[in-house]
């Protein structure tokens, strides 16, 4: 295996070197959306909203932020948003099976990474059921994404609870920029079927629309023995977006999506009848829809106000007909930005969210009560002060939030950025963020195992939620430095120290005899509690180098030192082992090469050290794509994933009772026609 890997890397290196020499020497034709044609200055000046809720150059954001551009997405060869996120330096992206990902920043990763807030056009897709993201249904037509903004570190002051270790916001394109038609089709060994269609037009003066549809079918991965698992999946979705300049100062956006899919799953669940533990494989359904409206008014160059309202509905079978969730969410947020004097820019806002759920369960898993309405009311204010001729910026603000689970929460931060020259930027921040309890942590009952006994009743081990569970708290200290070394080299370093309090643990409770459902059984309960603390520290390095106008290289490395400890009185003996759920070392290297002959060749190397708590060894994977721009409107892309080995595990655990599988090598061909 090592010899194969070395030969592959050598071949890639030789091909890159030879092709780069030809590309630098010759002119050739460039693709319409050529990433390598953008200078590093242009990339650093890309405007983002995630760090300050206003458009701001990436280079001047006082946070560890990265932007995946539209061109990077198109050239990545990825087919899902989750896979696109592998492009983010220092972000941990691991696949647990064909339809589940574990994605987080700065440690404490899991399939439901509950300290990462994810938004699509400002609409939260973080589920309050288990606290996390169902990545299999977070999708749009990738060609319609303008950029993906990622903050590594807390963003709770602006975005609220659960923005603890990071925030991701997927920003789709304005309908004005997606006029005309697009058709795409593809197929391969793992991506069995890919199809997408979009059409954009104009229906009134300065009013634009687009509609889209997308279908994907993914093959199953393999289990540890190399035989096919039962985790293949397929999904279809469609949607629309309208952008209308209603008046010179008023912009209205209305957009919506609907989806339906079936997702393969192998799960083990408990029963009070022999054989007591059942393992079954099946496809489980999930569907949903959302509708969002956003009104923006520009009152002046120094003042703007916007109102966003969205409705989201989901219906998901969580565990082979033994647990089903139906949820309705209504969210509204008002935001006002204005300048006060010459130095102060203030952003403030109010928010309200209501979410209603109905959860059908049975003996293996249930919620008590089985339906609940939950509310979140919030307000935030932030002041950005400009000093020393705009070379120093200080940001002070806080989020104030009330929720039904942990009550009133305050999440302040102080950030500062100093630009001693246009090519240097230093920033530092101190923040407090919280992760509020989920519905499961308050109300769930999971019967994890049933153990027969010859001398007494059956024994049931049960995980139960506790209404007394409070929020997990983080105080984070961060600092970073950015350097534009001329027009061809960009360097960035960030360091952090995180102090967590009240992390979740499982604590034993008093056993009791339960007569129903029959037969009578002895319950050994383990209750969720805030019994652990942790400290983590780390460093993140990233660099981008424009070798020539046709060849760009990027590399990144992240180091993490995470130490967990049970708090006083905690009896959870597994808390410390969770240190081994996150890689201590991660790195990536990327090459974007625009060749003559209308070709693009791009390679991503992605590596992570092992996960000791899950018996997952360290791995190195290579993804590559070769794109032929047949003409101005037609592209053919050949993509290869996990090129270095036939299969490997990336994450050894999914959620309760489900089976992880191994990522397989895959290749697919995709044709895209824009007209």
Q: What is the pLDDT of residues 203-262, one digit of tens each?
A: 988 999 999 999 999 999 998 888 999 999 999 999 999 999 999 999 999 999 999 999
List the beta bridge partners of residue 639: 625, 668
**pLDDT (average), residues 326-330:** 98
Report which of 345, 433, 349 is spatially closest to residue 396, judged by C-alpha positions: 345
At residue 451, does pLDDT exceed 50?
A: yes
Cβ 193 vs Cβ 471: under 8 Å: no
Name the pTM for this structure: 0.92
CA–CA dist 661, 651 (Å, integer): 8
Helix or strand or coil: residue 185? Answer: strand
Structure tokens at 568: 């006083």
Question: Residue 394's domain is classified under what CATH number?
Answer: 2.40.170.20
Q: To which H or E segment does residue 113 belong? A: none
Beta pairing class for 458-464 and 472-485? unpaired
pLDDT digits (tens, 9 = 90+) for 558-612: 999 999 999 888 999 888 888 999 999 999 999 999 998 899 999 999 999 999 9
CA–CA dist 265, 323 (Å, integer): 13
Structure tokens at 235: 């999904």
When pLDDT is cut at 50, 70 and 90, the band that residue 18 belongs to is very low
Burial class (CB in 10 A: 0-12, 13-18, 19+), 377: middle
**pLDDT (average), residues 328-332:** 98
Beta pairing class for 277-300 and 512-514? unpaired
Cβ 110 vs Cβ 435: under 8 Å: no
CA–CA dist 134, 118 (Å, integer): 10
Q: Supply the pLDDT for residue 26.
A: 41
Structure tokens at 132: 């996390």
At residue 502, does pLDDT exceed 80?
A: yes
Beta pairing class for 489-508 and 424-435? unpaired
Q: Supply the pLDDT for residue 528.
A: 95
CA–CA dist 420, 416 (Å, integer): 13
At residue 11, does pLDDT exceed 60?
A: no
Cis peptide before 275 (omega within 30 of 0): yes
Domain span at residue 627 reads 2-674
CA 538, distance to chain mean position in Å, is 20
- 365: Cα within 13 Å, side-chain hemisphere: 21
CA–CA dist 578, 581 (Å, integer): 5
- 232: Cα within 13 Å, side-chain hemisphere: 13
CA quadruple 636, 641, 645, 647: dihedral sign: negative
Burial class (CB in 10 A: 0-12, 13-18, 19+), 55: exposed
When pLDDT is cut at 50, 70 and 90, the band that residue 34 belongs to is low
Length of the chain, in residues = 675
Structure tokens at 608: 């992570």
CA–CA dist 504, 572 (Å, integer): 10
Q: Supply the pLDDT for residue 181.
A: 97
108 contact partners, CB below 8 Å, separation of at least 6? 115, 165, 503, 534, 562, 578, 581, 582
CA 239, distance to chain mean position in Å, is 21
At residue 446, does pLDDT exceed 80?
A: yes
Q: Supply the pLDDT for residue 43.
A: 63
Report which of 472, 470, 452 is spatially closest to residue 461, judged by C-alpha positions: 452
Number of domains in the chain: 1
At residue 179, does pLDDT exceed 50?
A: yes
CA–CA dist 675, 672 (Å, integer): 10
CA–CA dist 531, 504 (Å, integer): 6
At residue 115, does pLDDT exceed 80?
A: yes
Burial class (CB in 10 A: 0-12, 13-18, 19+), 225: exposed
**pLDDT (average), residues 523-540:** 96
In this predicted structure, which of 574-578, 645-649, 670-674 has the lowest mean pLDDT? Answer: 574-578
Q: Supply the pLDDT for residue 48.
A: 77
CA quadruple 456, 461, 465, 466: dihedral sign: positive
At residue 617, does pLDDT exceed 50?
A: yes
Largest CA distance in the chain: 83
Alpha-carbon distances of 492 from 184, 275, 404, 554, 615, rounded to whole Å: 36, 57, 40, 11, 33
% of residues, the chain, pLDDT over 70 = 93
- 295: Cα within 13 Å, side-chain hemisphere: 8
Burial class (CB in 10 A: 0-12, 13-18, 19+), 654: buried
Q: Supply the pLDDT for residue 453.
A: 87
Q: Supply the pLDDT for residue 42.
A: 66
Q: To which H or E segment does residue 144 belong? A: none
CA 1, distance to chain mean position in Å, is 32
At residue 620, does pLDDT exceed 70?
A: yes
DSSP secondary structure code for residue 136 in this structure:
G
Residue with tokens 């961060």: 478
Burial class (CB in 10 A: 0-12, 13-18, 19+), 392: middle
Cβ 331 vs Cβ 350: under 8 Å: no
Report which of 219, 93, 267 is spatially closest to residue 168, judged by C-alpha positions: 93
DSSP 522-544: EEEEEEEEEEEEEEEEEEEEEEE
CA–CA dist 323, 563 (Å, integer): 34
């Amino acid at each position: 295996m090592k010899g194969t890997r070395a030969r592959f890397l050598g071949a890639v290196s030789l091909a890159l070197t030879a092709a780069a020499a030809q590309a630098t020497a010759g002119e050739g034709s460039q693709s319409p959306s050529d990433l390598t044609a953008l200078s590093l200055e242009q990339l650093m000046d890309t405007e983002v909203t995630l760090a300050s809720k206003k458009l701001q150059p990436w280079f001047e954001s006082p946070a560890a932020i990265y932007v995946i551009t539209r061109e990077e997405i198109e050239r990545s060869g990825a087919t899902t948003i989750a896979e696109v996120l592998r492009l983010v330096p220092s972000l941990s992206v691991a696949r647990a099976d064909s339809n589940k990902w574990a994605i987080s920043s700065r440690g404490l990763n899991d399939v439901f990474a509950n300290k990462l807030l994810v938004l699509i056009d400002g609409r939260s897709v973080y589920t309050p059921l288990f606290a996390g993201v169902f990545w299999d249904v977070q999708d749009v037509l990738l060609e319609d994404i303008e950029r993906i903004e990622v903050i590594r570190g807390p963003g709770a002051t602006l975005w609220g609870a659960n923005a603890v270790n990071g925030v991701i916001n997927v920003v789709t394109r304005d309908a004005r920029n997606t006029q005309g038609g697009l058709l795409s089709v593809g197929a391969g060994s793992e991506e069995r079927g890919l199809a997408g269609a979009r059409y954009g037009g104009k229906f009134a003066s300065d009013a634009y629309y687009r509609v889209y549809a997308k279908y994907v079918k993914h093959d199953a991965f393999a289990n540890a023995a190399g035989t096919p698992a039962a985790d293949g999946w397929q999904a279809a979705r469609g949607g629309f977006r309208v952008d209308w300049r209603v008046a010179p100062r008023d912009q209205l956006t209305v957009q919506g999506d609907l989806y339906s899919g079936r997702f393969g799953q192998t799960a083990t669940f408990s029963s009070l009848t022999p054989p007591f533990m059942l393992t079954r494989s099946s496809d489980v359904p999930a569907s949903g829809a959302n509708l969002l409206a956003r009104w923006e008014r520009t009152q002046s160059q120094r003042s703007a106000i916007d109102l966003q309202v969205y409705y989201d509905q989901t219906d998901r079978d969580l565990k082979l007909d033994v647990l089903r969730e139906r949820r309705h969410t209504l969210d509204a947020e008002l935001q006002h930005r204005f300048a006060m004097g010459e130095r102060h820019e203030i952003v403030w806002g109010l928010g309200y969210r209501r979410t209603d759920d109905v959860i059908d369960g049975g003996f293996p898993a249930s919620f008590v009560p089985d339906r609940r309405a939950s509310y979140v009311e919030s307000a935030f204010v932030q002041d950005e002060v400009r000093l020393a001729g705009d070379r120093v910026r200080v940001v002070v603000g806080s989020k104030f939030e009330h929720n039904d689970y942990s009550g009133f929460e305050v999440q302040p931060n102080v950030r500062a950025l100093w630009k001693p020259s246009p090519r240097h930027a230093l920033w530092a921040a101190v923040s407090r963020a919280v992760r509020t309890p989920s519905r499961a942590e308050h109300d769930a009952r999971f019967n994890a195992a049933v153990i027969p006994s010859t001398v007494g009743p059956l024994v049931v081990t049960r995980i139960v939620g506790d209404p007394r569970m409070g929020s997990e708290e983080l105080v984070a200290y961060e600092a970073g430095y950015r350097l534009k070394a001329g027009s061809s080299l960009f360097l960035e370093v960030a360091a952090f120290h995180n102090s967590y309090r009240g992390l979740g643990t499982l604590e034993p409770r008093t056993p009791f005899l339960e007569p129903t459902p029959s037969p009578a059984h002895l319950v050994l309960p383990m209750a969720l509690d805030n019994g652990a603390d942790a400290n983590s520290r780390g460093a993140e390095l990233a660099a981008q180098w424009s070798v020539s106008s046709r060849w760009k290289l990027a590399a990144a490395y992240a180091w993490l030192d995470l130490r967990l400890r049970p708090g006083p009185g905690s009896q959870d003996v597994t808390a410390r082992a969770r240190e081994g759920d996150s890689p201590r070392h991660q790195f990536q290297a990327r090459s974007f090469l625009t060749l003559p002959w209308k070709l693009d060749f791009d390679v991503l190397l992605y590596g992570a050290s092992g996960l000791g708590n899950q018996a997952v060894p360290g791995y190195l994977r290579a993804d590559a794509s070769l794109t032929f721009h047949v003409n101005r409107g037609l592209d053919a892309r050949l993509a290869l994933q996990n090129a270095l080995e036939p299969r490997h595990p990336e994450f050894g655990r999914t959620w309760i009772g489900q089976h992880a599988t191994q990522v397989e090598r895959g290749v697919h061909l995709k044709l895209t026609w824009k007209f």
